[in-house]
């Protein structure tokens, strides 16, 4: 990611000197009235002073840059900032749906396993140190925001694969076939904390290209038989080839933030030590419903 250094510019706050008034001869009241009238006319003709630059404006400009990087690259990697600013920035991008503190914690890992209503085999738990294979998060999440509170002492990098070239590797009929493969996902009830099982296709059409939802451990078996099984195997091979040839590896430093397009990029993480102190704040963000709102956000 490049260009951030130059993007923190702010519109120069015009250092407007007060315009010199017309030279007036000292003298009578009529002259004073004329001078006042001229000054008033000049004030009316002058362009209005620009509104003061505020912290909110700067944040909105930053959010516009993040949106542009997400559109172009599927990700935006930002230099260190406070956690509060990261959350504010995420709020400018869309609606924040869920905040999770990702840490290695056996107690939370066990609680998470117990809470789940599904026994999806092999479904990884984020609080466990075991590696997480390539996947997207649930399809209701448009953008994932990660903020590094503390990084793992040895690694802790996020591994990413950009699938924007899917159409170059699969024909229209094959993509339609992948669209008939279903994967389960879980929507947690905000009140009860219980997870409700739902389904979504592996590939769906979207206004800006394919929208992906992939987590191999959540494939619905009855949607993945026969020809679909072959397509699914080809998709897994595509992911593996991309991992070998076009892997993006980002190891966030403390205070850095990373936003990724969850419907375009797959993400993964390697094994961590059970004693890892890695702490990443994760936000789930949904784009505003209206594109106009996204532009203005």
**Positions in the binding site for Fe ion (CB under 5 A):** 137
Q: Which is nearer to Fe ion, 128 or 231 (CB)?
A: 128
Tell me which residue of 24, 23, 10, 16 sits closest to 46, measured CA to CA.
Answer: 16
Q: Which is nearer to Fe ion, 160 or 231 (CB)?
A: 160
Phi, psi values for residue 99, rounded to 5°? -115, 130
Longest dimension (CA), the chain: 100
CB of 268 to Fe ion, least distance (A): 8
CB of 279 to Fe ion, least distance (A): 16
CB of 108 to Fe ion, least distance (A): 16
CB of 281 to Fe ion, least distance (A): 14
Give the C-alpha separation, 114 to 229, whole Å. Answer: 31
Q: Which is nearer to Fe ion, 175 or 183 (CB)?
A: 183
CB of 52 to Fe ion, least distance (A): 41
Q: Which is nearer to Fe ion, 135 or 231 (CB)?
A: 135
Q: Which is nearer to Fe ion, 214 or 235 (CB)?
A: 214
Give the C-alpha separation, 257 to 281, whole Å. Answer: 9
CB of 138 to Fe ion, least distance (A): 9
Q: Which is nearer to Fe ion, 86 or 213 (CB)?
A: 213
Residue nearest to Fe ion (CB): 137
CB of 128 to Fe ion, least distance (A): 13
Q: Which is nearer to Fe ion, 137 or 261 (CB)?
A: 137
């Amino acid at each position: 990611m490049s260009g951030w250094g130059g993007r923190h510019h702010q519109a120069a706050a015009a250092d407007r000197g007060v315009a010199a008034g017309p030279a007036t001869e000292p003298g009578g009241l009529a002259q004073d009235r004329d001078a006042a009238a001229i000054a008033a006319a000049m004030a009316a003709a002058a362009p209005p002073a620009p509104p003061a630059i505020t912290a909110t404006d700067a944040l909105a400009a930053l959010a516009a840059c993040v949106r542009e990087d997400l559109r172009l690259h599927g990700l935006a990697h930002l230099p260190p900032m406070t956690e509060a600013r990261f959350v504010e920035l995420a709020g400018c991008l869309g609606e924040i749906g869920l905040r999770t503190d990702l840490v290695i914690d056996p107690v939370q890992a066990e609680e998470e396993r117990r809470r789940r209503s599904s026994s999806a085999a092999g479904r990884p738990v984020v609080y466990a140190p075991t590696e997480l294979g390539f996947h997207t998060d649930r399809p209701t999440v448009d953008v994932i925001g990660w903020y590094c509170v503390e990084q793992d002492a040895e690694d802790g990098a996020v591994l990413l694969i950009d699938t924007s070239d899917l159409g170059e590797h699969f024909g229209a009929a094959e993509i339609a076939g992948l669209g008939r493969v279903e994967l389960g996902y879980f929507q947690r009830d905000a009140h009860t904390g219980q997870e409700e099982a739902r389904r979504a296709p592996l590939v769906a059409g979207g206004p800006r290209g394919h929208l992906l939802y992939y987590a191999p451990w959540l494939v619905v078996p009855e949607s993945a038989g026969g020809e679909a099984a072959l397509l699914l195997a080809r998709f897994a091979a595509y992911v593996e080839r991309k991992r070998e040839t076009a892997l993006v590896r980002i190891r966030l430093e403390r205070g850095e933030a990373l936003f990724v397009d969850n419907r375009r990029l797959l993400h993964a993480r390697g094994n961590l030590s059970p004693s890892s102190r890695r702490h990443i704040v994760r936000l789930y963000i949904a784009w505003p419903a209206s594109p106009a709102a996204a532009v203005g956000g």
